[in-house]
């Protein structure tokens, strides 16, 4: 019976008759659901946020960087439905998990969303299902955390006799989304796939080949998990390197941006990374700590990664110090000064504010007694967050010449394309530029400080 169920699963995938369930319809899950819908599959989207479900039912896209019409076709189709009813998980032949994997208060992995999702699936688990975890995590999570949680719930539901690799399949395929990127999409970014066993890996790879241009099978789920961690550690370490260089070169009165541009003229052996006010996003500030935690569990240390984390997390304080010194040179204390932070999103031209360093900049400046506002053309309000609850609800100001002139300092935290840097430099009393955004502005810029 088990082999018959798996054979039917493989056949349904091959014929595009399989129902694809995508669990969590955020920055990863929604584009993934659309990719499979575009490939001709019936798709079920699951999320606990009812406002997302209601928006999708009306054809409204809440991820603005993807475009207003991104979900319109899905909403009008009879092959896509979004729901908060997790009892319908049993309808899906393949369940793709895209839940968050944040850090706890002590930089420890918080796998509560993965474990809860696994239990939700386990309660409805049936023969002939494929379950794939896409959330970034440390090697071993799929096998040692997700699967046991799923089987515990299955046992309580009377399905404890089901065996992974025989009755149902489990794999890991890391998401590689980069919100706002125009030269790549879910369909075109190569997809790594590793199963808990050979059959799981093969069937999962076969599924993704219908929706993704290039699928790269690896020998195990652990290899796929480790590859994703490596990708983000690589970026975190190199960003830390240029952030540290920025501090040193600034004190030497050397333009770090010009130095990077000069080094980037070498056609081999160098890849340009750029400094900023700190790390943001759902991956780079978080994922390296998953590996350091796992290493400590094994009695090992990750000095290189932890040092990079220390450098990157210090950058907001460096920007605040530069702001404080610049105001001091103008005869103005930070206390009671009015400061405008330009950019709440963690990267240009998106509304994604996850782990944005702007939160820390605003909090630290307010802690020194400054009156701080922000402007962002994409992120219009501070959403509820774990670590910055006092900022929740704070809204973007209206940006105009008079507003710019009314602040004692303007801190550039995100270099959105919508900003007119010439106009900002012309009307602001003092500019603290953390992104090199004003380098091409012509004329005298004594009031522009690099940070």
Top pLDDT among 3 and 356 is at 356
> What's the pLDDT at 422?
96
pLDDT at residue 3 in the model: 67
Judge if 2-219 and 233-450 fold alike in CATH terms: yes
Check whether domain 2-219 has CATH 3.40.50.720, yes or no: yes
Does 72 have pLDDT greater than 70? yes
Q: Taking the domains of the chain in order of start, what are their residue ranges?
A: 2-219, 233-450
Q: Give me the percent of the chain exceeding a pLDDT of 70.
A: 99
pLDDT per residue as tens digits for the range 169-185:
999 999 998 887 888 89
For residues 395-413, average pLDDT: 97
Q: How high is the pLDDT of residue 107?
A: 78
95-139: pLDDT as tens digits: 999 999 988 877 788 999 999 999 999 999 999 999 999 999 999
Instruction: Specify the residue for token string 């400061």.
Output: 339
Q: How confident is the model at residue 1 (pLDDT cuts 50, 70, 90)?
A: very low
Per-residue pLDDT at 2 exceeds 70: no
List pLDDT tens digits, range 236-280.
Answer: 999 999 999 999 999 999 999 999 999 999 999 999 999 999 988
Q: Contact 235/243 with Cβ under 8 angstroms?
A: no
Q: Measure the CA–CA gap between 124 and 343, rounded to whole angstroms.
A: 44
pLDDT tens digits along 17-65: 999 999 999 999 999 999 999 999 999 999 999 999 999 999 999 988 8
pLDDT at 281: 74
Q: Is the pLDDT score of 304 beyond 60?
A: yes
Instruction: State yes or no: pLDDT of 330 exceeds 50.
Output: yes
Confidence band for 157, pLDDT divided at 50, 70 and 90: very high
Q: Mean pLDDT highest for which of 65-79, 144-158, 291-305?
A: 144-158
Mean pLDDT of the chain: 94
CATH class of 233-450: alpha beta
Angle, CA 398 vertex, CA 355 and CA 61 arms, to 5°: 55
Residues with catalytic function: 283
């Amino acid at each position: 019976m088990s082999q018959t169920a798996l054979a039917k699963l493989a056949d349904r995938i091959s014929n595009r008759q399989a129902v694809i369930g995508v669990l969590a319809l955020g920055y990863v899950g929604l584009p993934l659901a659309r990719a499979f819908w575009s490939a001709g599959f019936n798709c079920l989207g699951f999320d606990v946020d009812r406002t997302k479900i209601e928006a999708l039912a009306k054809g409204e896209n809440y991820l603005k960087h993807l475009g207003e019409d991104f979900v319109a076709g899905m909403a009008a189709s009879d092959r896509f439905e979004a729901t908060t009813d997790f009892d319908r998980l049993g309808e899906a032949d393949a369940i793709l998990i895209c839940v968050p994997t944040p850090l706890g208060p002590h930089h420890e992995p918080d796998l509560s969303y993965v474990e809860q999702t696994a239990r939700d699936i386990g309660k409805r688990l049936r023969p002939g299902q494929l379950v794939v975890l896409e959330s970034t995590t440390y090697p071993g999570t799929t096998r040692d955390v997700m699967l046991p949680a799923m089987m515990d719930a299955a046992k309580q539901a009377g399905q404890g006799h089901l065996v992974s690799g025989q009755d149902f399949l489990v794999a890991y395929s890391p998401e590689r989304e980069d919100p706002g990127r125009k030269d790549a999409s879910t369909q075109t970014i190569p997809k790594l796939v590793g199963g808990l066993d050979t059959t799981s890996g093969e069937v999962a790879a076969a599924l993704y080949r219908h929706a993704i241009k290039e699928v790269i099978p690896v020998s195990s789920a652990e290899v796929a998990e480790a590859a994703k961690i490596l990708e983000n550690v690589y970026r975190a370490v190199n960003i830390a390197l240029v952030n540290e260089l920025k501090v040193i070169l600034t004190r030497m009165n050397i333009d770090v941006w010009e130095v990077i541009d000069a080094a980037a003229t070498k056609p081999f052996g160098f890849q340009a990374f750029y400094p900023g006010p700190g790390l943001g996003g759902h991956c780079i500030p978080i994922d390296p700590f998953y590996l350091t935690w796992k290493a400590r569990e094994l009695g090992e240390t990750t000095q290189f990664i932890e040092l990079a984390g220390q450098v990157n997390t210090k950058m907001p304080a460096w920007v605040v110090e530069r702001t404080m010194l610049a105001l001091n040179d103008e005869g103005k204390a930070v206390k009671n000064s009015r400061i405008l932070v330009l950019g709440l999103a963690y990267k240009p031209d998106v509304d994604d504010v996850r782990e944005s360093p702007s939160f820390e900049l605003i909090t630290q400046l307010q802690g020194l007694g400054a009156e701080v506002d922000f402007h962002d053309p994409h992120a219009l309000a501070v959403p509820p967050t774990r670590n910055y609850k006092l900022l929740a609800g704070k809204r973007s100001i209206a940006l105009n010449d008079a507003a710019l002139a009314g602040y004692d300092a303007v801190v550039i935290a995100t270099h959105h394309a919508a900003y007119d840097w010439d106009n900002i430099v012309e009307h602001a009393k003092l500019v603290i530029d953390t992104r090199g955004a004003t380098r091409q502005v012509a004329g005298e810029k004594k009031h522009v400080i690099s940070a």
